[in-house]
Structures are given as C-alpha cells and as structure tokens.
Copies of this chain bind each other. A is one copy, B any other.
Amino acid sequence: MNTLIKTVEVLGIIAFALTGISAARKKGMDIVGVYSVAMITAFGGGSLRDLILNRHPLFWIEHYEYAVLLLVMCLLASGVIAGQFKNSKMIMVVLVLDALGLGFFSASGASVADRLGCAAFVSALLGVTTAVFGGVMRDIICNEVPYVFQRTELYATCSFIGAWCYLAVARGAGNEILAVTACIVVTFTLRMFAIRYKIRLPI
C-alpha cells in the first residue's frame, strides 16, 4: 500500500509538471521558462505549506532527484513529445493523473498540518493549499486569472472534501495509510465526476 501511495505521489508530481509545461509552452516560453513553471507548479503548493508551517528543509531541496527528473521531462517535452500537448488522449491522461495528484497532495497537506496540531478546518485549508497553489502560481506567472478560482468544473472543492475525509479517517480510525487512500479515492472520484458531468459550484 505504501508503494502504491508513493507511486501516486510521483504520478501527481509528473501530472502537475505537465500542466505547467503545457501552460508555459502556450505562452511561447523557452526551456528556462518551461522548466521554471514546471517546478513551481509541481512544488509550489507543498513549498508554500512548508513555509506557512515552518517545516524545513523543503521537499525538493532535500530530494534533488525530483528537480533532475523534471528537467529531463522538460527537455523531452520540447523534443519528442512536443507535438502531443494538443492530442486529446494526452490531455485526458494528464487530467486523470492530475486528479490523482490532487488527491495525494490534499492528503499530504492535511496530514502535515494535522500532526502539527492545527485545527481541523485549518488542516483542511492547508490540504487544499498544498494541492492547488502550485497551479495558482503557474497561472499568475502565465499572466492569467487562476483557473482554480474561476467558475469551472469542481477542483478545489474535490480537494477540500477529500481533505476532510483524510481528517475523519485519520482521527477516527488512527490509520494513516487508510486515511490517505480514502482522501485520494474520494478526491479522484469527485473530480472525474465533475469533469464528466460538467459540475460547477452554484455560487
């Protein structure tokens, strides 16, 4: 189960980075811009959470292999897979992986805040922050109003509900792995439904 969760994390990082690469390429950036936006999209949310909660060292500072992995991805994305970003199958794959990442990072943010003794509501907010603020920074750099704040298919809402599931299971059953799994399943399922049926918030 632990290996499965680790796999979800890596897939999530890759998906977040891919959305960054895609956004940066649409703005005509060169590899420096593409790599920077990919890094910020993938690690921005987690870094913001760690700065807010005073946790050091940051994830990507300690595990440099992720920064290298993303550089390789960006180089590939400017070469062999460059033509794939408008391919509808590729778009669907990224959407699915992104939903997995959304679930994983919601759990990761809520878990860190919860263990530091934050109130449940704040822990849920930090779950959402971890999951969505990389994308917010990506959109700010690309000079767009952040996607996640616009009236579009549920995104942060799935993360918020998922984070509460994490907290309920972690506090209720005391089982971390079960809680993370519950959060990923709920977030992912909600997000897929929201995309499929174009569900938006009424207000």
Contacts and interface: CB of A to CB of B under 8 A. Distances in A.
A181 interface: no
Interface stretch (A23-31, A103-111, A165-173): A23-31
B149 A37 contact: yes
B151 A141 contact: no
Given A67-B121, A150-B33, A201-B31, A143 B141 contact: no
Contacts of A146: 33, 141
A78 B203 CA distance: 6
A145 B27 contact: yes
B119 A64 contact: yes
A145 B141 contact: yes
Contacts of A200: 30
Given A37-B149, A122-B64, A57 B58 contact: no
A152 B24 CA distance: 14
A142 interface: yes
A157 interface: yes
Contacts of A56: 53-54
A145 B142 contact: yes
